[in-house]
Amino acid sequence: MHELSDKEIIKSWELNAAPWNEAIENQSIESRKLLTNQAIVDAVLDQQPTSFWDLGCGEGWLTREIGSHGIKTLGTDVISDLLEIARRKDPLGNYELLAYEDLDSFSPKQNFDIICCNFSLIGKESVDHIFTHIASFLSAEGKFIIQTLHPKTASGDEDYVDGWRKGSWAGFSEDFCRPAPWYFRTIDSWKKLYRGNGFQLSDIREPIHPKTGLPASIIFLGERS
Ligand SMILES: C[S@@+](CC[C@H](N)C(=O)[O-])C[C@H]1O[C@@H](n2cnc3c(N)ncnc32)[C@H](O)[C@@H]1O
């Protein structure tokens, strides 16, 4: 078994950039097509930002979508193959290679009204590291928005406690390999991450899957307290 670590997450994404891009292009993740894409776009646009940073942008669909509303955008990711695709799809866009682990030495040209992680917070230390530094990149009224798997539904049959879980590409194409492990956090732990790092939560949204009646994701909107 591969180790359960933040490094292994990056290794996995290095290997799966091409099938991930294909999955996004073919809209093959049903919950994204049905509701979670629109849910995160709405959560961002509701704030009426003028600037937006998509942290862990992947092939950049959300950066492009928000940019299409005339909002200044930055997309960053640690996987160079994904960034290459993002730049190809959006030649005038602003994309930079950046690992969460290097956030403390990053100097963007400006602060942001919204910093957003859409299903891109997977690990443990890397996520803790983001929370330690992210407030310094926000404008005065800026918000840090996270969409992630809903802990209640993602927990499955395992105990509802924080901890590393083995990854799976179940439901994805056979082109995917070496699934990334992920660090499970309860709803309470996500709240503590925000509150323990100088944020208050202005909203929590739970988009309900129209087919299952269960929350497909959870969206946290945090602002500096
Ligand atoms: C599930 S994808 C989501 C991509 C995009 N946000 C979207 O909504 O399609 C997770 C993304 O997180 C990025 N990621 C994971 N760990 C990272 C790290 N330590 N630093 C930067 N990006 C990371 C991956 O490279 C991948 O693009």
65 C-beta closer than 6 A to ligand 1: no
Q: Kindly give the distance from the C-alpha atom of residue 168 to the centroid of ligand 1, in angstroms, as a whole number.
A: 16
What is the average pLDDT across 25-52?
98
Q: Is the CB of 221 under 6 A from ligand 1?
A: no
Token representation of residue 136:
């310094």
Res. 123: pLDDT tops 90: yes
The pLDDT of 81-89, averaged and rounded, is 98
Band the pLDDT of 1: cuts 50, 70, 90. low
Among 31, 57, 61, 77, name the best residue to mutate to test ligand 1's pocket (greatest count of ligand atoms within 8 A of Cβ).
77
pLDDT tens per residue across span 51-77: 999 999 999 999 999 999 999 999 999
Q: Which residue, judged by its Cα, is nearest atom 9 of ligand 1?
A: 58
Ligand 1 atom closest to residue 54's alpha carbon, by position in its atom list: 6
Instruction: Give buried/exposed letters for 12-45 (b at 16+ CB in 10 A, else e).
Output: bbebbbebbbebbeeeebebbebbbbebbbebbe
pLDDT value of position 113? 98
Ligand 1 geometric centre to CA of 44 (Å)? 18
Distance, in Å, from the CA atom of 146 to the CA atom of 169, rounded to the nearest integer, reads: 22
Among 78, 121, 168, which is best to mutate for testing ligand 1, by the most ligand atoms less than 8 A from CB?
78
Average pLDDT of every residue of the chain: 97
Give dist(CA 101, CA 218) in Å, integer: 24
To 5 degrees, how large is the angle CA 60–CA 13–CA 154?
90
**Ligand 1 atom with minimal separation from the 10 CA:** 16
Cβ(99) – ligand 1 distance below 6 Å: yes
> Which ligand 1 atom is nearest residue 6's CA?
19
pLDDT exceeds 70 at position 151: yes
121 in contact with ligand 1, CB cutoff 6 A: no
216, 207 Cβ separation under 8 angstroms: yes
Residue 24 is predicted with a pLDDT of 98
Residue 2 has pLDDT above 90, yes or no: no
